[in-house]
Amino acid sequence: MIDVVVVSSETSKNIYYLSPGDFNLKKGDSVIFETESGLLLGIVCTENYQEKNENLVLPLKKVLRIATNDDLRKYSKNKENAEKALTEAKKLSSSLDLDMNFVDAYYYFDNSQLIFSFLSDNRVDFRELAKKLAAKYKTRIELRQVGVRDKAKKIGGLGPCGLFLCCNSFLTDFNSVSINMAKNQMLALNPSKINGICGRLLCCLGYENDTYTELKKDLPKIGLVADTPLGMGKVVALDVFKKTYSVDLKEKGIVEFSKEEE
């Protein structure tokens, strides 16, 4: 077991599992911590707790300190400067006739890097833009081409369920989602119902897919001919939670049967 604290970063829109070191951190504390690319400021999501080593990617990066008032002022200044840099990047890309739809920009806390995210339908040669930005801001520039799901994660919003987007709230990675998951859960294949605001399939389709697969394991498939106590008929509906299936019998119409009573 190892001591861990979970920290979220508004800057990178990611969640980090970190070593708290000697700090006894509380939920809501602002901290400065290490990443592979530089320092970030984040908010503690959990108090210190112990986690199994096999559940973590070791070695863990560390919390360096609890953020001071000076740190918070620097963070605010970095956000302000990143907004200005984003406006400048848009102007420069337009002057270079580049097909780039910028999403956001942020500085690492120590100003070691300035990161820009953008959307584009095509591959973009942004080398000249990167040179101009590096010359102006005197730091390492990184231009990241992202997808529409990444844009939704960064910008946020409300999903069709009325709650804040999962990707913007707690998801750290985009798991694969397929149309077969919607079919498996017997959802209407209407794009307005199964697509998120990003235009892609809802991430939450994956949450209950394994449960539906398990519940349907002993039930006949819709469309197949089933042998029932009242004769042969075509399966027309399932209720996976009641463990029942409805069969269209020629002589008796549609009859519901319970798998648990068989």
Alpha-carbon gap, residue 167 to 170, rounded angstroms: 6
Query: Quick one: pLDDT at residue 90?
Result: 96
Q: What is the pLDDT of residue 260?
A: 63
Beta strands in the chain (DSSP E): 2-9, 14-18, 30-34, 39-44, 49-51, 63-66, 101-107, 113-119, 140-145, 225-228, 231-239, 244-249, 253-258
- Do residues 135 and 201 share a domain? no
If asked whether residues 183 and 124 sit together in one domain, one would say no
Q: Is residue 233 part of a domain?
A: yes
User: Are 139 and 80 in the same domain?
Assistant: yes
Tell me the β-bridge partners of 3: 50
Question: Can you name the residues that pair with 113 across neighbouring β-strands?
Answer: 140
Q: Provide the pLDDT for residue 262.
A: 58
Counting the structural domains of the chain, the total is 4
Per-residue pLDDT, 253: 87
User: Is residue 218, in this structure, part of any structural domain at all?
Assistant: no
Cβ neighbours for 255, distance < 8 A, ≥ 6 positions apart: 228, 230, 233, 246, 247, 249
Helix (H/G/I), strand (E/B), else coil: 163? coil
Q: Are residues 76 and 139 in the same domain?
A: yes
CATH number of 100's domain: 3.30.300
Q: Is 73:144 a contact under the CB 8 Å cutoff? A: no
pLDDT for 227 = 85
Backbone phi, then psi, for 146, in 5-degree steps? -115, 170
Domain range for residue 113?
Answer: 72-146
Encoding tokens for residue 259? 């798998």
Question: Which pLDDT tens digit goes with each residue over 89-140?
Answer: 999 999 999 999 999 999 999 999 999 999 998 899 999 999 999 999 999 9
- What pLDDT score was predicted for residue 10? 86
Weakly modelled stretches of the chain, pLDDT under 70: 260-262
Both tokens of residue 116?
A: 């820009």
Looking at the fold, whether 138 and 182 belong to one and the same domain comes out as no
**87 and 140: one domain?**
yes
HSE, CB side, 13 Å, CA atoms: give it for residue 33.
Answer: 30
Tell which residue, 243, 237, 236, 241, has the closest CA to residue 219: 243
Same domain, 58 and 115: no
Taking the C-alpha atoms of residue 221 and residue 223, their distance in angstroms, rounded to an integer, is 6
Asked whether residue 165 is assigned to any structural domain, the reply reads yes
Residue 85 belongs to a domain: yes
- 78/123 same-domain check: yes
Residue 205 burial by CB count (10 A; 0-12/13-18/19+): exposed, middle or buried?
Answer: buried
Find the DSSP H helices in the chain: 69-95, 127-137, 148-155, 166-169, 179-184, 191-194, 209-215
Boundary (domain end) residue, out of 146, 177, 195: 146
Evaluate whether residue 142 is within a structural domain.
Answer: yes
pTM for the model:
0.75
114 burial (CB, 10 Å; 0-12 / 13-18 / 19+) is buried
